[in-house]
Amino acid sequence: VQPQRGGRAPLTPGYDLRAGASGTNLTVSQAFPSGHTTAAYAYGLAMAEILPELGPEILTRASEAGNNRAVLGVHYPMDIMGGRIEGHSNVSAALTTNRLYVASLKAARTEVMAYLTRRCEADGHGDTVQACIGNVGANDKNGYYNTFTDSVSTTPVVDRASALKAYRARMTYGFDKASAYGGPAPATTAPVVPTGAENLLSTAFPTLSDAQRRQVLAATEIDAGYALDSSSGGWQRINLAAAMSAKVTVGKAGHVVKIETGNLKPEVVSAPLAS
């Protein structure tokens, strides 16, 4: 969204996907996209970059912050969907062009991982953060939960599987594809991964190349044709919570041969050698 300057040019609904741009500093009130939701997803995504081991849970919590705007009656679902799109695209742009942002997140991850490792060892939960998370069940039934339900997210969040389900439900808010309302069908249903989106998986899958991370995003994105898809440059389709729960199998030649979602950790494994 382009901020109004000097009270002259009117605001035009849309996305400002320029590097470093932000749609939250508006000088007048505008519903689309939701500024609160944009900020919630951006902050949540930064936290998920710092601790991708719990990325799906963190991102689902961010989706709740956006959903609360509808619960309060101050935004429509599409406003919230637009906020998610802009929040993700803004963080991707920062990871691509803002070296200070990247350095800050890297330093934060180093500090958080060192602190959690010390606490986990001291409490007898393992000598790595991932082992500790598994030991205490923070990525499953003993972790993040929320018993709130509504007509979109119909089951409580009680484990990773239900968190992924809630996140996915809030990506489309129960809308059918646009063609069901008389809109055009998408020109192509092939996966569309926005440029730079692969950077959002850099801490979850540090050993994968940019091209491999793009494969993960392509394999986990939702179908084409839902509301806002055609105007979002692919961002509407990116299911980052699912991508951060992927088990990625890489073949001998370095090609990704299988991607399975719903894993309890972001994981890369080698394909077994043919017997």
Instruction: Report pLDDT for 273.
Output: 73
Instruction: Report pLDDT for 253.
Output: 84
pLDDT per residue of the chain (275 residues) written in tens, 0 to 9:
333 333 333 444 455 544 444 444 444 557 888 989 999 999 999 999 999 999 999 999 999 999 988 888 888 999 999 999 999 999 999 999 999 999 999 999 999 999 999 999 999 999 999 999 999 999 999 999 999 999 999 999 999 999 999 999 999 999 999 999 998 888 888 999 999 999 999 999 999 999 999 999 999 999 999 999 999 999 999 999 999 999 999 998 888 999 999 999 999 999 987 64
Contact indicator for 165, 159 with CB cutoff of 8 Å:
no
Contact indicator for 69, 80 with CB cutoff of 8 Å:
yes
Instruction: Report pLDDT for 70.
Output: 86
- Say how far apart CA 14 and CA 79 lie, in whole Å: 11
Determine the angle formed by the axes of helices 55-71 and 160-172, rounding to 10 degrees.
40
Contact indicator for 17, 89 with CB cutoff of 8 Å:
yes
Instruction: Report pLDDT for 111.
Output: 98
Determine the angle formed by the axes of helices 35-50 and 99-122, rounding to 10 degrees.
60
Backbone region of residue 116 per phi and psi (left: phi > 0; alpha: psi in -120 to 50; beta: other values): alpha
Instruction: Report pLDDT for 274.
Output: 60
